[in-house]
A = this chain, B = another copy of it.
Amino acid sequence: MSELSFKKAQKRVHEFISMFEEGYWPPLSMLASIVEEIGEVSREINALEGYKTKKKGADTNYKKNIGMELGDIIFSIICLANYYNIDLEENFELILKKYENRDMNRWTKKK
């Protein structure tokens, strides 16, 4: 089976959202939704890394939860990108190039 590309994921999210009258939410509302999801992954990571004890009965399957939250965030980032006609692959490549140039002397290169 072929691997899912960013372009294909953006297309599938668009097809999904286009099924509904509501369409994409206003950008500040999509943003608030992303913040909510970042908050959820924060809770999971804080719990996993050990400083914050979860309430009794709360799901302790942290890593699975973190995976789902990250999937959620990717979905929401794609919504925002689609709304503004942003190509994520292209921008990810630009960022990778930026880091390769900028960070090469910022960190300690392995011998």
Chain A interfacial positions (CB closer than 8 Å to B)? 3-9, 12-13, 16, 18-22, 25-29, 31-43, 45-46, 48-49, 51-53, 63, 66-68, 70-75, 77, 80-81, 84, 86-96, 99-100, 103, 106-110
Contact = CB atoms under 8 A, between A and B. Distances in A.
Contact of A26 (B34, B51, B66, B73): B51
Q: How many copies of the chain does the oligomer comprise?
A: 4
A21 B107 contact: yes
Name, among A3, A25, A32, A109, the residue most crowded by chain B CB atoms within 10 Å (CB to CB): A32
Given A26-B49, A28-B28, A67-B90, 18 more contacts: A3-B6, A3-B7, A4-B6, A4-B89, A5-B6, A13-B96, A20-B103, A21-B109, A22-B107, A22-B108, A27-B49, A34-B38, A35-B42, A66-B84, A67-B84, A70-B77, A74-B95, A75-B95
